[in-house]
Amino acid sequence: MAKPYYEAPFNFKRFFEKKELKRLSLRDSISQFISIIITTYFEEYTFDEEFGSEIWETDFDLLVNANVLKEQIKYSLTDQIERYEKRLTNIDLSVELKESLTENANTVRLKKYLLIIVTGTIIKTDEHFRFTGDYYLTPLSYK
């Protein structure tokens, strides 16, 4: 029988009410886990302090050269995804630093964000996999 994959965050209320929990496909589960790696800072996960993303270490260091920042994040994320996401092989990662205008009430701000694209092959099915995520910097948040 296939192993079920569940949506994070886990809905404990439904669990204790013995109701059906939201399940994910293998592809969605891998995407969810990659997003968790990206948004977790080192030492946040107490069972493995090496789990997480270099993005948090560079989040407020935007004075650094953009190419150096991209390469540092790319190297770290590639290492982390290869180490922790065992359901993928042939992993390739690209990181782009972009800018967008955001408007709130009477203010317009220019914010930097990362466009992260992860491709690879799902080992179990030998299918092509692609994850795309946008994350604002300072502070890190979803786009």
The domain segmentation of the chain, as residue ranges, is: 5-142
pLDDT, position 36:
93
Q: Are 59 and 12 in contact (CB under 8 A)?
A: no
Q: How far is CA 121 from CA 88, 89, 90, 134, in A?
A: 6, 5, 6, 21
* Cα–Cα distance measured from residue 86 to residue 101, given in angstroms and rounded to the nearest whole number: 37
DSSP conformational letter for 8: S
Residue tagged 């204790």 (tokens)? 16
Q: Give tens-digit pLDDT for 1-48.
A: 467 888 888 778 877 888 888 888 999 999 999 999 998 888 888 888
The pTM score is: 0.82
Between 62 and 105, the higher pLDDT residue = 105
Matching residue, tokens 């009477």? 106
d(CA 44, CA 41): 6
- Note the CATH architecture for domain 5-142: Roll (3.10)
